[in-house]
Amino acid sequence: MFKLAQRLAKIPPYLFAELDLLKKKVISKGIDVIDFGVGDPDLPTPRFIVNALKRAVENSERQKYPSYEGMMEFRESVARFYKRRKNVKIDPESQVISLIGSKEGIAHLPLAFINKGDFVLVPDPGYPVYFSAAILANGTPFKLPLMGDNNFLPRLEEIPRNVARKAKIMFLNYPNNPTTAIATKEFIKEVIDFCKDNEIILAHDAAYSEITFDGYRSHSFLEYDSGFEVVIEFNSLSKSYNMTGWRIGFACGNEEIISGLLKVKTNVDSGVFEAIQVAAATALDYGDKVIDENCRIYEKRRDVLVEGLRELGFKIKSPKATFYVWCNVGGSSIEFTKKLLNKTGIVVTPGIGFGEFGEGYVRFALTKTVNKIQEAIERMKSSFSKDAF
Ligand SMILES: Cc1ncc(COP(=O)(O)O)c(C=O)c1O
């Protein structure tokens, strides 16, 4: 009786929901599943952040409607974080807003700037929300292939002129989910210039900015002064501090873009619970050690998984960032995922779920202990070989 809007029909089903069904089937057969599927840290939120929330929630002043843009206390902590960790100066008053997780901001941005038919440039493979957010705003997503032979950076020269002229937003994400690629400073400069020339908003999703290894530190797209002319950078406490369930992130950068996004948000949500903002400010100000510890944990897991996969015959680059491993399986990613699950009880995410150019790869999330990773490698060694696939 009730017909869904046409725009919803254009959105492919959310991949993780389908995977969950498949996984449930295997679990119901009594198989002990090792799930490298969804990128949700297995580590708990650190105690001092939980305690900060507890204290804040007791204060009745913190129980009221929050402001739309976020508390000054939270936005100032974002500015301090960017100065300390990225050497970027941000005005907390006009260049930062709180978000109910970075996903929320990413999903709402096109509503602020896209008219029917405008192009939204989206990386493929990529976090599925860029594509669906473009559709929900009646925009036209245009895919930017991220290919291994270009270090998973888009080739800007391949964007047709008429598309670049009609594009209003370009989404990018480095360190990248799912490919684990990182952006060089040269590339960042090049893409900022491209967006300036074509008057495109550069929406940089930096959700994994702090999860880096081997001494590498990721770059903010706001490191360049010219970044402030076109960039809105999304960031999140979810991955850096094991706070996925808390739903808090932020957007910072160009004032006009920030205020456009805020105008949408003012009409659809009422901000982030203040007690969560206070705890998040504590994390941003005092959580550098947590980030370091997390990185060490993921780095160790990465080493064990990469080495094991290499022993199994897979050729993979060891990632410098994110908590994923992007593994070339040389064939259908869905077939590989299904066979792996059925034969070994191991869940990975098929690359095609992140877009057509993710085909041929699967993604492992490093959200399992070293012991579990070792067990998974053993299972694969005994009942699953790359060549058999
Ligand atoms: C690339 C990327 N961006 C954004 C998000 C959303 O993070 P959150 O909404 O928890 O801040 C995720 C979550 O998995 C992600 O992988």
Nearest residue CA, atom 3 of ligand 1? 207
Report d(CA 264, CA 249) in Å as an integer.
Answer: 16
Quote the pLDDT of residue 274: 98
- Quick one: pLDDT band at residue 139, thresholds 50, 70, 90? very high
What pLDDT, in 10s, does the model give residues 153-207?
999 999 999 999 999 999 999 999 999 999 999 999 999 999 999 999 999 999 9
- Quick one: pLDDT band at residue 149, thresholds 50, 70, 90? very high
Kindly tell me if the per-residue pLDDT of 15 is higher than 70. no
Cα dihedral 57→63→66→72 (10° resolution): -40
Between the CA of 345 and the centroid of ligand 1 the distance, in Å, is: 26
Counting from 1 in the atom list of ligand 1, the atom nearest the Cα of 126 is 1
- Quick one: pLDDT band at residue 357, thresholds 50, 70, 90? very high
Pocket lining: 212 vs ligand 1, CB cutoff 6 Å: no
Residues 270-284 have a mean pLDDT of 98
More confident residue, 21 or 145: 145
Counting from 1 in the atom list of ligand 1, the atom nearest the Cα of 237 is 11
Output the CA angle 350-353-354, nearest 5 degrees: 110
Quote the pLDDT of residue 13: 75
Between the CA of 162 and the centroid of ligand 1 the distance, in Å, is: 31
124-143 burial, b at 16+ Cβ within 10 Å, e below that, comes to bbbbbbbbbbbbbbbbebbb
Q: What is the pTM of this model?
A: 0.96
- Backbone φ and ψ for 289, nearest 5 degrees, come out as -65, -35
* Amino acid sitting at position 155: R
- Quick one: pLDDT band at residue 12, thresholds 50, 70, 90? confident
Quote the pLDDT of residue 386: 60
What pLDDT, in 10s, does the model give residues 322-351?
999 999 999 999 999 989 998 999 999 999
Among 99, 122, 177, name the best residue to mutate to test ligand 1's pocket (greatest count of ligand atoms within 8 A of Cβ): 177
Pocket lining: 127 vs ligand 1, CB cutoff 6 Å: yes
Residues 9-36 have a mean pLDDT of 84
Report d(CA 251, CA 234) in Å as an integer.
Answer: 4
**Residue percentage of the chain with pLDDT more than 90:** 88
More confident residue, 13 or 355: 355
Report d(CA 163, CA 137) in Å as an integer.
Answer: 17
C-beta of residue 371 within 8 angstroms of C-beta of residue 379: no
Among 16, 100, 103, name the best residue to mutate to test ligand 1's pocket (greatest count of ligand atoms within 8 A of Cβ): 103
Counting from 1 in the atom list of ligand 1, the atom nearest the Cα of 104 is 9
Kindly tell me if the per-residue pLDDT of 388 is higher than 70. no
- Quick one: pLDDT band at residue 21, thresholds 50, 70, 90? confident
Quote the pLDDT of residue 380: 94
Between the CA of 14 and the centroid of ligand 1 the distance, in Å, is: 14
Among 99, 108, 152, 205, name the best residue to mutate to test ligand 1's pocket (greatest count of ligand atoms within 8 A of Cβ): 205
Counting from 1 in the atom list of ligand 1, the atom nearest the Cα of 127 is 1
